[in-house]
Structure 1
Amino acid sequence: MNTGRVWKWSLTAVIVNLLLGVPGVVPAFLLWYFASNWPLAAMGWTQRDPTENDGMLPWVVLATPVLALFALLWWLANRPVRRRVALGSLLYWPVSALLTLAPFTLMAAL
């Protein structure tokens, strides 16, 4: 594969993962909300939302399909791109995950 094609597919991988990060804000927020209200609050690292008194089950029932659907979409979008990028699998998947989390991180920082 020539250098031009490698750069084209590398740029495609960056664009795909950043664009997937925009709707990925919803599952990332659901994970953060769940973690901050139950496991992290139980360890004393965060404080629970005082109006959150329904328990964990509604959040698990709500978040599981959303997270599963997003993970499937993310994997299906990245699989064909991964085959054409010059990075190895051990580097491609973590970099793709970090790029997908970039919009959530940006929104959380603002």
Structure 2
Amino acid sequence: MTSTPGFHTEHMWKWSLTSVGVNLLLGIPAVVPVWLLWYFAANWPLAAVGWTQRNPTENDGMLPWFLVGAPLVVGFTLLWWLANRPVRRRIPLDSPLYWPISALVALVPTFALVIVSVLVP
């Protein structure tokens, strides 16, 4: 692995591990907005095209999504972006590659919970 001028390989590994740690820690509270996005998608757009069945008790309309769901998702996304900006500046990795990798690392706790919920009866 080559290092960029002024950047030692050990510093790159340190910041890479910092990035993974930050995104894994942020992934724990990210379970809530990811679940809200799935719940919304499963009850409205995916149910409208017939891919899922709508929850029969979901009759509140869109107001709760505008008052709670959207601010929660936007707030978490802003927090994730603000936490990753300083780390991103210190890692010699292209921006188009850093952001998707960081998002996938932040989704690891959600994927782990999905796998556990499928495997444990």
Considering the TM-score relative to the shorter chain, is it more than 0.5? yes
CA distance in 1, matches of 2:25, 2:51: 32
Cα offset, 1:72, TM superposition: 1.1
Choose which of 5, 8, 21 in structure 2 pairs with 1:15. 21
The structure with the larger Rg is 2
Percentage of pairs with the same residue: 65
What's the TM-score, normalizing by structure 2?
Answer: 0.87
CA distance in 2, matches of 1:19, 1:70: 13
Cα offset, 1:24, TM superposition: 0.5
| CA distances 1:77-98 after superposition (whole Å, capped 9, x unpaired) | 0000001112100000000001
| CA distances 1:53-96 after superposition (whole Å, capped 9, x unpaired) | 11223223211110111011101100000011121000000000
Greater relative contact order (CA < 8 Å, ≥ 6 in sequence): 1
Choose which of 11, 21, 27 in structure 2 pairs with 1:5. 11
Q: Which runs of structure 1 show a deviation greater than 6 angstroms over 4 or more consecutive aligned residues?
A: none
Residue of structure 1 equivalent to 2:97 = 91
* Equivalent AA in structure 2 for residue 106 of structure 1: A
Residue of structure 2 equivalent to 1:78 = 84
CA distance in 2, matches of 1:99, 1:45: 28
Report the number of matched residues.
110
What's the TM-score, normalizing by structure 1?
Answer: 0.95
Q: Which runs of 5+ in 2 are unaligned?
A: 1-6, 117-121
Choose which of 83, 96, 104 in structure 1 pairs with 2:110. 104
DSSP-derived class of the 1:44 partner: coil
CA distance in 1, matches of 2:82, 2:65: 25
DSSP-derived class of the 1:46 partner: coil
Q: 1:52 and 2:58 equivalent?
A: yes
Kindly report which structure 2 residues correspond to 1:29-40, keeping only aligned pairs within 5 A, or say none: 29-40=35-46
